[in-house]
Amino acid sequence: LRLGRRRRFKLVRQAEQLWHYGHLCIRSLLFNSFTNSDVVLDSLFEPVYWLVDHVTRWFGVVFVALVIGLTSSIVAIVYICLLPLILQTYTPAWICWHLAYGHWNLIMIVFHYYKAITTSPGQTGGTKDDLTGVSICRKCIAPKPARTHHCSICNRCVLKMDHHCQAAWLNNCVGHYNHRYFFSFCLFMTMGCIYCSISGWEMFRDAYAAIETYYQTPPPTFSFRQRAFHKSVVYLWVLCSSVALALGALTLWHAALITHGETSIERHINKKERQRMQKKGKVFRNPYSYGSWDNWKVFLGVDVPRHWLTRVLLPSPHLPHGTGLSWDLPPCVTEQRAPLMAI
């Protein structure tokens, strides 16, 4: 019995030694003094993040095809159904207005959408020694300049990153070099949808009333072409009104950010920093904000008064101020702003 107990105790001790040895190996291989509960959760959810990022890339391609298809359908309805009616019933002055404004708005939408999806937002190039970073990117393990953030979908650091745009169907990051194109596309698309909704309101009411009579007894004698016209007008008005509301809200949000000299990411960062400084009795000031008017001039690239016409009201591929790696005072700014933090 004593020999049996000794053997059992020996097996238990060996099992405990193996357990402690394995535990020590795992701790030594995975030990990190910066590890906390957030890092552990991020590591556990890393496969989920990877799956979402890769699926989102394919969603972007689908959204680009969707916006092109929907916009093309609206333009086709306007040319095939509405334009002949406008030419027959409107006065020459109204005809000139609709032709001029409608085609100008369409050109601005197409130009800025194409530039937004094809223009690279800007990334940190060159060697690591060439970059002056304010922090180190945890994913790229490289210096990260001011206002630069890592995009998990593009898997790169983006200069002055605002967001990775899927909501506006760009399939691209919105950053330093295409931020203006993104906002201009949202603005002119909203203006175009509002224009179609207001101009087509009377035709929408007539077409909707005609559709309601389809199921009467006896049914009205509408031809196939008339039925197609009614449904096309209702489709145009409902789609344009919905997009105008949704995209209009997004445009107003980004207009507020531009007014304060912030991006979507910086909005959250500055809010936390403002609360932190407030607890210390100090006031946080955004170093990249030059005042509401100057912020718009910097964002739109307006250096001289004629640029409001050539760079804002007309398609313009001009580059933004600066390189995105450093942020010097733009020449169009009228006065130097306060420092980052003031007591």
184 Cα distance to chain centroid: 12
CA distance 248 to 203: 23
CA distance 134 to 120: 23
**Nearest by Cα to 277 from 343, 220, 213, 192:** 343
3-state secondary structure of 162: coil
Catalytic residue among 154, 165, 186, 240: 165
Q: Show the 3-state SS of 194-254.
A: HHHHHHCHHHHHHHHHHHHCCCCCCCCCCCHHHHHHHHHHHHHHHHHHHHHHHHHHHHHHH
Clarify whether 154 is annotated catalytic.
Answer: no
Task: Kindly state the tokens that stand for 116.
Answer: 């937004």
Strands 341-342, 172-174: parallel, antiparallel or unpaired by DSSP?
A: unpaired
Q: For residues 139 and 161, is the Cβ–Cβ distance under 8 A?
A: no
Catalytic residues, by residue number, are: 165
